[in-house]
Amino acid sequence: MNLPEATIAQLRRSAEAALKNAYAPYSHFSVGAAILTTNGRIFNGCNVENAAYPSGLCAEAVAIGHMVATLGPMHILACYVACKGHTPAWPCGSCRQRLNEFADTRMWVLTSVMDGLPERMPFSDLLPHHFGAADLEGFRS
């Protein structure tokens, strides 16, 4: 699936807007994320750190929570991650699994630093051997 450049730009703006509100007093590594649902809605989030590591929240987790709290569970077509670092920040392992829970089969992940060009990858390449709801079918007691 190819995302229109206008949609990518909108996702980036949303991720960068969230990044400005990041709470990162310990790592000083601010991150913003925006997700695009299959119905065209965009939800964003930023990282929220906590002195009691690992109690903080990643930006992707906050964006997913924003989506679920607003509209309920939906499929995600794209996730954009923006950071102020020197290199783009791809979703961590936990967030890859969180994204997998809602990923559309055509989902893409994009990432960039503030002034850099976005890098992109199909989610299936980012998490090729995923574990999800289908793996649990037939195991209810």
3-state secondary structure of 56: coil
Catalytic: 119?
Answer: no
Of 16, 60, 101, 137, the active-site residue reads 60
96 Cβ partners below 8 Å, 6+ apart? 126, 127, 130
Query: In which residue are the tokens 């190819």 written?
Result: 2
Contact 75, 105 (CB under 8 A): no
In sequence order, what are the residues at sequence separation of 6 or more whose Cβ sits closer than 8 angstroms to the Cβ of residue 32?
Answer: 14, 15, 16, 17, 18, 19, 20, 21, 22, 44, 45, 46, 47, 59, 81, 82, 83
Report the Cα–Cα distance between both ends of the chain, in Å, rounded: 38
Cβ atoms of residues 51 and 119 within 8 Å: no
List residues with catalytic annotation: 60
